[in-house]
Amino acid sequence: MHRAGPATTGAASRFSASGSVSRRVSASGQGGKVGVRVPTRETGGRERGAGFDLARRAMASDAGRGDAPTDATYTVSAWRQTEDDPAPWERTLAATPEVTLVRGDDSSRDGASTFDASAYYSRLRTRRDGRALLTARELPSTQNLISDNAAHAPGSLIPGAVCVADAQVSGKGRGGNEWSSPPGCLMFSLLTRHREGRTLPFIQYIATMAAVDAIQEGADDALIAAGAKGHRKGTGTAVDAKIKWPNDLYSGGLKIGGVLCTSTYSDGGFDVVVGVGINLDNATPTTCVNDIVRKRLEKDGLRACFDEKTKLTRESLMAGFANRFEAMCAMLDECDSFDTLEGGYLRQWLHTDQEVTLEEDGEKKVRLVVKGITRTGYLLAIDASGEKYELHPDGNSLDFFKGLVRKKLPNR
């Protein structure tokens, strides 16, 4: 069945069905940069294994690999914004030979992406993430381009590289459903590094937080530009944009975007590819970010002010994402824990005090109330007597909340 989705990023999960990750190894079996990939289970105790199992299921749930036709070729513009990469258009992306890199500032080329690199860089505040920019009019999948080269052609992309496309043509969703991602969506994939396997599952949570923050920041700017009286910037409540656990973005009960993370292990750390898809401009058949902003302006009596100056753009939204993502990842690395970020995450998600009903043994129904997330990244819930449980996806249901199993937690 073919489905048109407003915001998806097609990619193959690097996690196998057993919850393993991919490791690049040399001929001697030690971590190296030889392009050989073998599955290996991340070790380090039950706590780490549980986190990886959640990451495998959540990260793989929202998109599958999109394969380009064998005779298709694609041109991608490479932009220089870092001294570490003086001529990125001279690189060869060996894992995606169908892609040719060209100089981004060559304005004479036909068929280039409409993404405005200058506008994007003017809002970017990062040290690394998002600095090395690739833009394309059309690709099978930005996630494939980044993840395939990170895994199979080490060194072809530098950490922080980001690829954005005007349209994607062959992403795949859960259950083998095919997705098209038309113009009007922000679709990009970012390559970053993470050193600690125990906190790896929280990268996707940070990505969803960064996406919501970017939307709220853009809405703040729109309200201020429109002259909204008494509006306070930075409250995170300008518009209705929330996280549906583990990796979706929702507004008014409708999906407006999603996040997909994949990873490969090499050289003592993880190459993580963060794919983001946000429906920016397509108001039908559901809703989109700019429609949400327009309705907020109407609510404040500022309908006439919704114009090109107040509309959110792909460039501002992607820069805002990168700014927040890099900052929050630095906090995760510094603290070696999600604890300092958890409060912000819970303010952005939909599920605090949500009641869930679990079916056990085919008939028995257990009612629990969601209170947060555990240290391994699963849902934390309590029953009527106050007993705490960790809720895991069963691995079979497309809706995570319809396929949960529980594990009792010790009282502390």
Q: In the prediction, which pLDDT does 198 show?
A: 92
Query: Do 397 and 362 share a structural domain?
Result: yes
- Domain edge (last residue) among 346, 370, 390: 346
Closest CA to 57 of 235, 212, 193, 245: 245
pLDDT tens for each residue of 223-245: 999 999 889 899 999 999 999 99
Are 112 and 134 spatial neighbours (Cβ–Cβ below 8 Å)? Answer: no
Residue % of the chain over a pLDDT of 70: 78
Task: Transcribe 175-205 into DSSP letters.
Answer: GG-EEEE-TTEEEEEEEEEE--GGGTTHHHH
Average pLDDT over every residue of 164-177 = 67
From residue 16, how far is each of 39, 53, 194, 310 by CA, in Å?
Answer: 8, 10, 20, 44
pLDDT over threshold 60, residue 254: yes
Query: Do 240 and 210 share a structural domain?
Result: yes
Q: Which residues contact residue 247 at a Cβ distance below 8 angstroms, ignoring those fewer than 6 apart?
A: 58, 59, 61, 62, 204, 207, 208, 258, 259, 260, 261
Q: Based on the structure, what is the number of domains in the chain?
A: 2
Q: In the prediction, which pLDDT does 33 show?
A: 26
Please report the sign of the dihedral spanned by the C-alpha atoms of residue 52, residue 55, residue 56, residue 58. Answer: positive
Query: Do 300 and 156 share a structural domain?
Result: yes
pLDDT over threshold 50, residue 42: no
Query: Do 397 and 257 share a structural domain?
Result: no
- Domain edge (last residue) among 323, 346, 369: 346
Q: CB 377: neighbour CB atoms within 10 A?
A: 25
Calculated CA dihedral for residues 34, 38, 44, 45, nearest 10 degrees: 170
Please report the sign of the dihedral spanned by the C-alpha atoms of residue 167, residue 13, residue 146, residue 325. Answer: positive
Q: In the prediction, which pLDDT does 3 show?
A: 34
pLDDT tens for each residue of 44-83: 333 333 333 433 333 333 333 444 455 789 999 999 776 6
Please report the sign of the dihedral spanned by the C-alpha atoms of residue 90, residue 93, residue 98, residue 104. Answer: negative
Are 46 and 119 spatial neighbours (Cβ–Cβ below 8 Å)? Answer: no
**Residue showing tokens 């990469």:** 85
Average pLDDT over every residue of 238-259 = 95
Please report the sign of the dihedral spanned by the C-alpha atoms of residue 310, residue 114, residue 243, residue 295. Answer: positive
Q: Distance between CA atoms of 182 and 186, rounded to whole angstroms? A: 9
Domain around 199: 2-346
pLDDT over threshold 80, residue 366: yes
65-69, 128-132, 286-290: which has the minimum mean pLDDT? 65-69
pTM of the predicted model, to two decimals?
0.82
- Domain edge (last residue) among 346, 363, 383: 346
- In which band, very low, low, confident or very high, does the pLDDT at 154 lie, cut at 50, 70 and 90? confident
